[in-house]
Amino acid sequence: MTTQVIVLNGGSSSGKSTLARSLQAVLPSPWLAFSIDDLVDAMPAALQSQDGGIEITDGGEVNVGRDFMRLQDAWREGIAAMARAGAPVVVDDVFLGGPSSQQGWQKALSGLEVLWVGVRCDSAEAARREVARQDRPQGMAELQAEVVHQGVHYDVEVDTTGKDPLECAGAVAAHVR
């Protein structure tokens, strides 16, 4: 069966978005790319101040509520629908819930051929990238660097620390059927 979805999981500033764009460059056919940041950006501003939404503290901790989770489930189903309709998709996500986050994707992507990719980056390098980006609270990258991988199972893992994004994309693309 042909790979229909590539799920990239890694902490903030680990290089997932750059890897997704690099995969689009190296894969032989066109792939759509969607990020958890796209979902957060699409949500109403009110969900960033309500208990049921998403809260990102000054120290980089992320807390999500019931409303966020409901919309995230619908977003996952929408991504899966695109893949089922014939559009191969790269997803860039942060599994804050570890195995339960992966299980949410597994439920939505049931019946599809999925490549699970762990995107790792040394926490000091991710923190350096975070400062350079200036669009994340300092501390988020370090908080997420390892916890997002605990209990998660992958088909392939890449470490973006000091590696060329196209090299990492080539390693992932080698596992795409």
Q: Which of 37, 67, 155, 159 is catalytic?
A: 37
Q: What is the DSSP string of 48-68?
A: GTSTTSEEE-TTS-EEE-HHH
Counting other chains too, the contacts that 125-131 makes at CB distance below 8 Å and 24 or more residues apart are 125/161, 125/162, 126/11, 126/12, 126/13, 126/14, 127/13, 129/13, 129/15, 130/12, 130/13
Is 37 an active-site residue? yes
Active site residues: 37
